Structure 1
């Protein structure tokens, strides 16, 4: 997805959350089952941005009011929706800076030499794995270890089991995993310079696609795919990540065009 798409989605998300906030305040001001003191406290909490506190006050008042009465179905349904809106507002406050930023396509990067596609965490020096994972920002800043040509990107859907396909022939040319929820493309020579003990491309080929003598561009792109789900949330997945490469074998001149993506069980 390009930046215009990401900015549009972020604005739509912000507008939705603002509408939820407005409906929450309207609900607090007009609901009949709370006393005026609770209403005043809820409005004050709202004005301070303490939306979870508003939810607590509303739910406490609801259960107190209906404790010895027959519950009114319409009231219960409306309160349930308000609670869902409060949870959405809470999530937005935590995730708003990145929830759609991770859908942004990477910049195309030129590679010249053997490349690998794998989880960035796999290439770390084992004795220092945890410390180095934190130092590189969980794979987002590999420059700290001397990498000059690389791509890393969030998988969006968590851990992956993936196939790499030749897009000209449909042939499977490799596999890779992304257990840490990140996928990376690296020059093999830079990986071995940083960590001479790395051998996943040889001994654990299901974790690492190895493409030899590649000269061309690679980009990680995010695509929208229709998917039926009950909630319209990013993390319930109708966005898929693909690693796309276009180039040649620099020794033979033959084309190397590929796509790496999450594989269905019968494709592996």
Structure 2
């Protein structure tokens, strides 16, 4: 497995998409901070009035660094870039025949799956680190916001974000191993990220109609649902425990099934 990991790490470091995705993450963070800065400047200069819409917009703007972490980490950017990187990284070795070289130097193909998860994990950490730096620098440098109400909550939000994104990546990797094509997992992943809330609402409606259950939420038992709706800097201990269990279950099951499929399928 160590040989496979070294080769995958080498490939990740040499691949342009690794840095393009990191750069896109920085750009997304900068755009979000800039949009808040422009809106804040408009209010300060009196360009925006006291209409209902303007007042509602002002109320939605975060007033602390915690709020900006919640706004970004409960958005789609991080998980979207995670999905894109996972598909590109897993697909590149098949596209260029690299998988044959890796498979020839390891005794068990389980190492192929684990090495990819480790590389994806490193990329996810880099994405989160850049996001944290971008938010802090943007808030302090452009918005003049320095107040942090709950440092522990922000730290836990970042750690949980890394875990849940890795869990999502493991599912996407499994889809790629099944399909052996980049199109299907990429399309499914992007649709899931962008339309997850709609899918959960529809599923909740179906459950309510069929089983007459009104207090059940599918989102609580999915990674995307927890990321978008439940895990933030003020999340309760029970929410964090539940979301961590959900993430670990998805991660372990996806990794185990991926290893089983990789051992059975021919490497082409």
Instruction: Compute the TM-score of the two structures, normalised by the length of structure 1.
Output: 0.27
Instruction: Compute the TM-score of the two structures, normalised by the length of structure 2.
Output: 0.27
Choose 1 or 2 for highest CA Rg: 1
Greater per-residue strand proportion: 1
Greater per-residue helix proportion: 2
Query: Which structure exhibits the higher relative contact order, with contacts defined as CA atoms closer than 8 Å and separated by 6 or more residues?
Result: 2
